[in-house]
Structure 1
Amino acid sequence: MSPWLLFSFVIGYFVILLIVAYFTSRNSNNDTFFIGNKNSNWMLVAFGMIGTSLSGVTFVSVPGGVGDVAGGAFKGFAYMQVTIGYLIGYAVIAFVLLPLYYRLNLTSIYNYLQHRFGNIAYKTGALFFIISRTVGATARLYLVINILQFFILDKMGVPFVVTASFILLMILLYTFEGGVKTIVYTDTLQTTLMVTGLIVCVIYILHHLNIGGAEALSQMSAKGYLNIFNTDVNSKGFFLKQIVGGAFITIAMTGLDQEMMQKNISVKRLGDSQKNVMTMALVMAGVLFLFLMLGGLLYMFTLSKGGVYTDVNIDGVMVKQLLITDPHNAGQTMNVIGDKMFPSVAMNFLPPAISIMFIIALISALFPSADGALTALTSSFCIDILGLKNRTDLNEKEKKKKRLTVHFTFAFIFLICILVFYAINNNSIIDVILDLAGYTYGPLLGLFAFGIFTKRILPNTPLITVISLAAPVLCYIISKNAAAWFGGFQIGIELLLLNGLLTYLGLLMISKKDNAVN
């Protein structure tokens, strides 16, 4: 298919987003940008947040992981273990964290740390959010931009840096005025297109293989793709680790994340916000199952087209690959295992209409996480670091000018981070994101847990920041030596919980008793 044709659909998609942004950002102000004037519709927020939570990484990596090999067996549907944990985590967010945020009428959720512990804890929490969301969002952006680059822009002779710059410019254009108010609507549109693309691909492959859904699951089970629960206690994928880790990943990456909570607290009433979170959780679990089913179908489709698993020695390490003949280059083979599976099949083996739908769904999966992250980082830096909301020495126009400067600065930082990921070129971005989240969100988890579950107070001291920085370092050392120290035990997704616990214990050491808790 012509790369120019595919590129025209990408441009058309951006035009639609700009039109939505134009109508939603009229008469906007700083409150519109930061919290949508606290007038967002909970149903729109709930549906749009599905796209934000899943992102392009889920769109590509979750299906690709089904037929990938770990520990001598297919990963299969093991991601459902994490999904069970997600449901537990969302319940904690809805019934523990949201009532707290609404009671304090927060614009930035890190103001809770200021109420509870003082300015240094507040700034530390905001700092870790900024680091966490910048790294996570740019990793997600990199994956999707890289796919667009490989299948479209490389064939047009466009350098990667130009592609990344163009996409970031488009995100800037439709978010810099309306902020949260705009992205509530654009995320709803993009989630719709993403889920539609997912369903279309599932239906097409089922039709092509001439099987129904039940028969497809039966065949996946026979091939070993349907495994869910890992019972190896020492494995990173042990089911209890995955469930507990999934719960805490959700609490940290959603409940303690300004980007995600910014949309929730833009809903006027607490009850509606809670409905939003639980509705999103249930729908997202169903969507993730559909992604896993698509993954199994993609591997079955590839094998039916002559794909063959083979072991390849790369730098002295035996790596499992799934090779298939490139339909556009006779005699050449492609490795389509993992993150390469969905885009390779969609762009090379499916009809042009499905390929176009895939590109639209892919960029729809990309932007809810990117635009929300850019908006939330701008909000957090302006409110938490610059104190812009309470500045009396600046008028509304001057505040807006500073906000726009911060917004453009973060876009530039995004570009630098994307180029760093491009240089690293890791083939399993979802694993990278979960690992990084364990290190960067752990101190946030420890800070909030200490505030919520104890009545102790902390001195307003830089030791809070030192402890929050030391905990991830200790976690890294423990993680790298766990197998040697603990009889083969490997630390996986529960790294976040360990990090939070170390932060909590460090804070406990410098705290003192005081019953006067705000």
Structure 2
Amino acid sequence: MDRVVLLLIILIYFAVLLGIAFYTSRNSDNESFFIGNRNSKWWLVAFGMIGTSLSGMTFISVPGTVGKGGFGYFQVVIGYWLGYFAVAYVLLPLYYRLQLTSIYTYLQQRLGQNAYKTGALFFILSRTLGATIRLYLVIKVLEQFVLADMGIPFEASAIIILGLILLYTYRGGVKTIVWTDTLQTTFMLLALVICVGYIMHSLHLDLGSTWAAMSQKGYTHMLQTDIKSPGFFLKQVLGGAFITIAMTGLDQEMMQKNISVSNLKDSQKNMIVFCFVLLAANLIFLLLGGLLHLYAGANGITAAGDDLFPAVAVNSGLPFFITVCFMVGLISAVFPSADGALTALTSSFCIDMLGIKRNPTLTEAQQKKTRLLVHNIFALVFLGCVFFFRAIDNGSLIDILLKMAGFTYGPLLGLFAFGILTKRNVPQHLPIWLCLISLVATFGIDLVNNAPWYTDKLHLGEAMGNALNTLSNNIFHGYKIGVELLIVNAAITFLLLSVFAVKDQQKPQNT
């Protein structure tokens, strides 16, 4: 009976989203879909972006990391916080000055058509993988704790959920998502606070005694001072800052919402308010992680990592309303990242790859027809990626997410850094090849440096694993690359672009 009630609540939740989509998409056009007619309220965007940034990955995986890494993840969060200031006061003024619909148009104006297409291509790859791994995690939890007992298979769950996301993003795009993200962020934060409060109450703890109990278990340990460790605090902070610059400031999904605000000043207000709230929200997620581990220890629950929060919320004897809060919070966490990604990928592919805004022969109706077709295709791509991640899943997914970001956002960061920090150009045919070389080189470096991780995740043979470990010790002498992988990749891209740069400062010919 409880499972039926949960499913009914989820369906009601979707009905509310569809109602908002219907209301906000009235009289919408292509500009509404792409940039919300540049009429979004900055405070709505700021609040809604919290849900987009946190996602189901944060909701599930971050609390699960506390058992092994304590509050070490907060080092990365501090880096995130610093990065938002760079986005607000370096990148946003650039985007508003150029009046961009797609932020990758900057690369076209600065470095030419090949660089423009390369930047858009890496964004499409990055956001597709990032959004679908987050979506997969939530569908996995829903299947494990709700749908499997009702005989609904994973494949059917994935198809239904993606179909519902497609429905409420189909017409309104950004204009709709600004409002749906606000609703979903509200539910997610309410669920988070309620779960923290009730677990503290069930353990007979107040805030002070909670902190003391977590400290005794080592859960509140934050600063990692071993410079060779991937968790070394300086690497985590710097890596987090550049992750924000790349995954927010150079990401069409995140910037699409920001540039939908009517003016630069309000957009910057949005970014600064957002970064402070995000700092507090991540701290609460880590607090929740400590409480979950305390509760699990007191009640004989052996689940860990991504399975801990669902196990405590659904199968530990807590009241049913906590299970409801968990499920509503979970779906509220994932859908802002999935719906925004679907819209942003549609926008980027239509504008950057197909050039529908640059084609004067296309009518509004023809542009809309193309946009809807691309939207449907990306929904199918999302579905395929979800099935792929189901096939390779073998543990906590947050490490995989951050590593993928290092590989795919690095070239994008290198391209923008070269364009902003230098006045030189590169031969028109080279950007895509230099970025691919950087990607391959970064993968090779990380494969050797983090040989045990790849041996485990890719199921490499013992002989291959031993050979890579030996090579890693000989080259890196115990130093482990962590979230700074993004910086390594961007630096290689920047170096390659600099090596092949030409002094001609004329604008490249765009074709």
TM-score under structure 1 normalisation? Answer: 0.92
In structure 2, the residue matched to 1:243 is 237
Provide the C-alpha distance between the structure 2 equivalents of 1:390 and 1:112, rounded to a whole number of angstroms: 15
Kept in 1: contact 2:111–2:507 (CA 8 A): no
* Aligned residues between the structures: 484
Provide the C-alpha distance between the structure 2 equivalents of 1:426 and 1:6, rounded to a whole number of angstroms: 27
Kept in 2: contact 1:455–1:517 (CA 8 A): no
Work out whether 1:47 is the aligned partner of 2:41.
no
Once the two structures are superposed, residues 16-53 of structure 1 have per-residue CA deviations (whole angstroms, 9 ceiling, x without a partner) of 00000010000000000000000000000000000000
Q: 2:394 aligns with which of 426, 436, 459?
A: 426
Alignment of 1:466-505 (within 5 A): 466-482=433-449, 483-484=472-473, 485-505=475-495
In structure 2, the residue matched to 1:150 is 144
Provide the C-alpha distance between the structure 1 equivalents of 2:418 and 2:357, rounded to a whole number of angstroms: 27
In structure 1, the residue matched to 2:6 is 6
Once the two structures are superposed, residues 124-160 of structure 1 have per-residue CA deviations (whole angstroms, 9 ceiling, x without a partner) of 0000000000000000000001000111111111111
Higher strand residue share: 1
In structure 2, the residue matched to 1:449 is 417
Q: 1:120 aligns with which of 107, 114, 117?
A: 114
Provide the C-alpha distance between the structure 2 equivalents of 1:306 and 1:11, rounded to a whole number of angstroms: 33
Cα offset, 1:355, TM superposition: 0.4
In structure 2, the residue matched to 1:265 is 259
Give, as a single letter, the amino acid of the residue that structure 2 aligns with 1:344: A
Kept in 2: contact 1:248–1:496 (CA 8 A): yes
Alignment of 1:301-450 (within 5 A): 301-307=295-301, 323=302, 336-349=303-316, 350-450=318-418
In structure 1, the residue matched to 2:104 is 110
Unaligned runs of 5+ in 2: 450-471
RMSD after superposition: 1.0
Give, as a single letter, the amino acid of the residue that structure 1 aligns with 2:79: G
Cα offset, 1:269, TM superposition: 0.6
Cα offset, 1:477, TM superposition: 1.0
Q: Indicate the SS of the match to 1:292.
A: helix
Alignment of 1:28-43 (within 5 A): 28-43=28-43
Cα offset, 1:438, TM superposition: 0.3
In structure 1, the residue matched to 2:197 is 203
Cα offset, 1:517, TM superposition: 6.5
Provide the C-alpha distance between the structure 1 equivalents of 2:291 and 2:421, rounded to a whole number of angstroms: 45
Provide the C-alpha distance between the structure 2 equivalents of 1:440 and 1:263, rounded to a whole number of angstroms: 21
Cα offset, 1:375, TM superposition: 0.1
Identical positions, percent: 57
Provide the C-alpha distance between the structure 2 equivalents of 1:419 and 1:306, rounded to a whole number of angstroms: 33
Cα offset, 1:362, TM superposition: 0.4
Kept in 2: contact 1:86–1:250 (CA 8 A): yes
Q: Indicate the SS of the match to 1:426.
A: coil
Higher helix residue share: 2
TM-score under structure 2 normalisation? Answer: 0.94
Q: Indicate the SS of the match to 1:210.
A: coil
Stretch of structure 1 that moved more, 479-488 or 450-459: 479-488
Cα offset, 1:89, TM superposition: 0.5
In structure 1, the residue matched to 2:501 is 511
Provide the C-alpha distance between the structure 2 equivalents of 1:496 and 1:393, rounded to a whole number of angstroms: 41
Does the C-alpha gap of structure 1 residues 158 and 186 become closer, same or farther in structure 2, counting only changes over 3 Å?
Answer: same
Q: Indicate the SS of the match to 1:370.
A: helix
Kept in 2: contact 1:62–1:291 (CA 8 A): yes
Q: Indicate the SS of the match to 1:132.
A: helix
